[in-house]
Structure formats: C-alpha cells, structure tokens
Structure 1
Amino acid sequence: MKRGIITNTGKTKRINSSTISISGNLSTADLNYYILYWDRIVMPTNNIIHQAIPNEEYLIKLGILERPIVRFNSWSTNVENGSYDPFVVSQGIIANKLLLEEKDTDWTIHQIGEEVIIAKDFQKKYASLKVGLLNCLPVPIEGVNSEILLEFKNKRKDEFEKLHQSIDHLYLEILKSPDIDLQYKISKSEFIKALQDIEKISTENFAKTQKYDLTTEININGKDFLTAIAAGSILDFTQGFTFPFMSVISGLISMVSIKANKTTSLEASNEKLKLSYIANASKENII
C-alpha cells in the first residue's frame, strides 16, 4: 500500500485561539524530506489564493506532487471563532475526501510546524500517544535535484519499505506492551536496524544530510493498551518516556520519545492508527 500525506505549502503556526498562519515557504530540505519518505504528496490549493512551491510544475510532471483545487464562493479574513486559513480548511476538505474515498493509500494529515492544526469544522478530539522519532530521518540538503532523489528512492525501495514497516511495528509494540520492558524492546527492534541502513546509504550517496524529527499522534483505542492500563503494568506516559540511542554510522544521538497527549485530528481518522504527523528539521546536527 502506498503511503500518502495531505500537507500544506508552508509551516503551520498558531497565532491565537482563533487564528493560524501558513508562514514562509517550504525549504529545499523540507521538500526533499517529503519526496524521500512519502509516495503521494498532496498539497491542496484554492481559488482564493494559490501559493506555489519551488519547481511545482516539474514535481507535478514527475508524479510526485498533487495540487487539487478547493473552490470557495467567498472568503473573509474577519470571521470569528476559528475560521482559520483557507489552506488549512482546504487541507481538511481534501483529507476527508481522500480518507473516505481512496482507501488503497494509507493517508495521514501532515504538517511542518509546532503542532497539528485542524480547521474547526473537521476537528475531533482524541486521546493519543505522541511518539517522536527525534534526530532520526536523514535528508539531503544540497546538491541534489528531485529526479536524482527519486532515482535513489526507487533504487533503494526495499530499505525504505523496511523502514516504514518497522516504524509501524514500533507504534503497535508501544500500544501492545507499554510496560517496563519497552526500552529493551525498542533497543532490539527492527526500527533501529532499518534506520541505520537508511543512514548508511544516505551518507554514501549524498555529500551533506540533515536529520529530521517525525512526531506521530497514535490513536489510543486498542484493547491491548487499555488492558495494560487496567493491569497496572503501563509505564507512566503522562510524565513522558525517552529512549536515546547512538547511530553507529554518524555517532550522533537519536531518540524515541513517548508521551500521553490529547490532540485534535480529522473525524475521518477515527479508525486509523496514525492520526497525524508533524515534522521539522532537527535543531541538532548536519552531517
């Protein structure tokens, strides 16, 4: 199954309780991250404002990028109580449509920024585990165009598929076994090996890379997790849990962080394991 994201053309930032902004453009590294780790990248636009991204037509031609248009009859910037940005509303409209109608792709709403922001009309509150893969995902930051990046991704599709599968298995393991042995299980998981394989082939093929953080809101509705809570064997995720590990390739420290959370996501994501993604370039290291 392909992995698809519905995202925006800039970084999402909350101004206050009823106002958000899409600030700035995505960097070259942000676009490289999207291209490298996701199969379908959907960035909705609208008939009020079209915000282009670098090499947009070229990326559409390559089949990397999709830009469906949401049409509004009108738009006011002075609407009370969380009307939000037209790009965020467009993201919610298209995400709901894809989640309900295109089930051959594993769709997840994705934003680059500090938090997941969902337009008011599409919000549903969830209890979640916020799982961060911090300073983990290597991304080329210069000297590579999109076509070269795609060739690399296709050539190494087995390694990338193993990484995605291992991340999904890690999420399920956290839900199934939130106990005192979890740190040991993470250290022995396929995720660590798959991540090291990706880092190795990335450093071999690209002159300079930067690590990205990927934070996922995991839907807590599984009976195994609730059974563990009832049995009293669960780790105290309300306080947060962090497992650091060192890369054998770069010698840098990465981390898996887990914390109980309350989040908002789309109502159409109710049955999904992964409610949303947030990504950011790590503030730590460039290799």
Structure 2
Amino acid sequence: MTDPKGIIVSHTIERAGTNLSISGGIDPAILKKHLLYWDSIAYPIVNGFGPNLNVLPDLAYLESEGILRLENVTINPVGIIPGCTNENNVVPMQFMPDLLAYGQIQLAKEKLTREEIWNIAQVGEALSFSSQNNNNKIIFELRLLEGLPVPDPDVSFDDVVNFRISHANELNNLRKALENFRTKIIESSEPERTLVILKQELYDSILNIESSLRKHKIKHFFDALSVYLNVSTNQLATMSLGAFFAHYAGMPRDLGAIAGMGFNAILKAVEREVRGAGMLPKEINDYMYLYTAKKHRIIK
C-alpha cells in the first residue's frame, strides 16, 4: 500500500451541555495545519450533508487548487444511529456527529479498496466515532502538547503550499516519526531504548521544521496533536515497557520535553477509550489524529 499522505476531515462539532453546534467550516489555523502536513485533504459529503463552498472561501480555494476533494459517501443509519429502523429514517440532530464520523470511516474503507491508506482527523477534546458504548476500544494515545509548528491564520495558503513543496522531506520525516512509534517499539528487542530513540527522532523532526519556518519568516505558533495507536498496556505488558506504562493506565505518562529551544513541547502517553473505534478497519486504526485549535503564542 502507498504511504499515507492524505487526511480525511469532517465538520467542526462543538458541544456545550445539551447544546450541539455543527459547522461545515474548518478553523483557518486547523486548515493550514492539515495543508502543511498532508498532501491531500478529503472532505466527505455524508448522505448529501456537506460543506457549502459558496460561503467557505478557504475551502473553495483549496478545491480549486486540487488539494481539497469533496467525496460523496452514502451511509445506512440502521445499526449506527440509535432508533433508526430504515435507511430512509431522518437522523436526529444529536446523532449527526455519529453519522459524520462514520462517513470518515466509510471513506477510509473505500480508499483501502484502492490500496490507499488515508488518515482520519477530528478537531476537539476527544476522538469519537459513535455515541454508543458497544463498539468502544481502548487504544494508546501519544499527545504532543504545544509542540507542533503551525502557520498563523494570517499566513497565506500560497505560502503554506510553497513551504510544503520546498520542505517535503522534513515534513515526511515528521510523519514517519509519528507512525514509527507503534511498529518500531513492538518489533524492538529493546523497547525502552527504542522509545528514547524515537522520541529524539520526533523532536529533531519538529525542530527542523520550526527552524525552516523561521528562515522563511513564516509566522507560526505551537499547537497540540494527539496520535492514536492500536497498542494498549495489555500488549505492552509482554515487553519491558509494560511496567513503565501499566502503572500509569488512565493518566498521562510524561515522556519528556524539548528543553532550551524557546518553546515547551511535551510528549505524553496514555490509554484512551475511543468511542466507536471498534468499527475501524485494522489497516487504518493506527492513523487517527486529534487536533486542538488553541493558539498559544505567535513566532515571527
């Protein structure tokens, strides 16, 4: 299969108590984060529900440049949405996030039939694919706090695209460093040593990208990124890392920070229960990302 270079996004969903807000737009900082780190962006139109590009100029621009693709996905809500007994049932508003999240999974499955692995990304405080509890999964989360360089919303799309083209190797190295965490640790005969090496590779990749952004005078800030890997402490218990993580199950284990570089990137590890993750095809369940949209400080 090809190396994953595309990302599947979805609507921005915000919950405040019983209130639910769904927007087809994507925050400019998040959109430029996608644009910087991934070659292509796919946005599923689920059962006809999708973004209106006529009122979303950022998305319209990316589509005109061939970077963003709107892709129709048809989902039968029976068995996915509680109470739905017919594929033509109207989905209650409170369950629309389930339908949209399943649209991401369905699109990823369709791409797998073409031997393409596409990453799935959501924005918010928790990764979720379902409101039900019968298909949850405990998986491993690597959380990079205030450590991912992201272009400022005022930076033009053209500048981000040009930077991505001229620094493709650096960006690919960061992507590989994130995706190597699971495979290399599990395959290693010395997982603790491997963890230290992988952490340094990750930090080196981040620092190289940040240094290049500075050289190009691209304003940026540092944001959070969570990477979800299909490895739990049950698997780690068979290796020397078992004692290291099992004691911290349910609470983040600090894996250290980047020191003396003018910013404070911290890497943490923890088990998480991801709602609906049991529905994910095994080929893509190590390619899930959660972004936050909190701006910290701008670097000129």
Same fold? TM cut 0.5: yes
Find the counterpart in structure 1 of residue 32 from structure 2.
Answer: 32
CA distances 1:78-134 after superposition (whole Å, capped 9, x unpaired): 389x46465334333323322x31323x3222101111121469x843221111011
| 2:73 aligned residue (70, 84, 90) | 70
Find the counterpart in structure 2 of residue 50 from structure 1.
Answer: 50
For residues 114-153 of structure 1, what are the structure 2 equivalents within 5 Å?
Answer: 114-119=125-130, 124-153=135-164
Change (3 A) 1:225 1:59: same
What letter is aligned with 2:25? N
| 1:197 aligned residue (205, 208, 214) | 208
CA drift at 1:246: 3.0
What letter is aligned with 1:276? M
SS of the equivalent of 2:239 reads helix
Determine if the alignment matches structure 1 residue 4 to structure 2 residue 6: yes
Please identify, of 161-170 and 231-240, the stretch whose mean Cα deviation from structure 2 is larger.
231-240
CA drift at 1:62: 1.4
Distance in 1 (CA, whole Å) between partners of 2:7 and 2:89 is 26
What letter is aligned with 1:279? Y
Change (3 A) 1:221 1:176: farther
Please identify, of 132-141 and 161-170, the stretch whose mean Cα deviation from structure 2 is larger.
161-170
CA drift at 1:196: 0.5
SS of the equivalent of 1:269 reads coil
For residues 15-26 of structure 1, what are the structure 2 equivalents within 5 Å?
Answer: 21-23=21-23, 25-26=25-26
Distance in 1 (CA, whole Å) between partners of 2:288 and 2:260 is 30
Find the counterpart in structure 2 of residue 280 from structure 1.
Answer: 292
Is the CA contact 1:45–1:69 (under 8 Å) kept in the aligned structure 2?
A: yes
Distance in 2 (CA, whole Å) between partners of 1:185 and 1:217 is 19
Count of equivalent residues: 279
Determine if the alignment matches structure 1 residue 87 to structure 2 residue 90: no
Change (3 A) 1:88 1:145: same
Is the CA contact 2:182–2:231 (under 8 Å) kept in the aligned structure 1?
A: no
More strand by share: 1
Q: Tell me the TM-score normalized by structure 1.
A: 0.80
Find the counterpart in structure 1 of residue 81 from structure 2.
Answer: none
Is the CA contact 1:212–1:280 (under 8 Å) kept in the aligned structure 2?
A: yes
What letter is aligned with 1:60? E
What letter is aligned with 2:255? F
Determine if the alignment matches structure 1 residue 217 to structure 2 residue 219: no
Root-mean-square deviation (CA, aligned residues, Å) is: 3.5
CA distances 1:118-163 after superposition (whole Å, capped 9, x unpaired): 1469x84322111101111111114432233112101111111111
CA drift at 1:30: 1.1
Is the CA contact 2:40–2:68 (under 8 Å) kept in the aligned structure 1?
A: yes
Change (3 A) 1:2 1:183: closer
What letter is aligned with 1:68? E
Identity of aligned residues (%): 21
Please identify, of 54-63 and 106-115, the stretch whose mean Cα deviation from structure 2 is larger.
54-63
| 1:269 aligned residue (276, 281, 290) | 281
CA drift at 1:58: 2.3
Structure 1 spans left out of the alignment, 5+ residues: none
Distance in 1 (CA, whole Å) between partners of 2:269 and 2:221 is 23
Distance in 2 (CA, whole Å) between partners of 1:91 and 1:158 is 28
Distance in 2 (CA, whole Å) between partners of 1:107 and 1:263 is 19
CA distances 1:159-209 after superposition (whole Å, capped 9, x unpaired): 11111112222344555679766774455x211111100010112224421
Distance in 2 (CA, whole Å) between partners of 1:71 and 1:270 is 21
Change (3 A) 1:282 1:170: farther
What letter is aligned with 2:296? E
What letter is aligned with 1:90? G
CA drift at 1:44: 0.9
What letter is aligned with 2:252? G
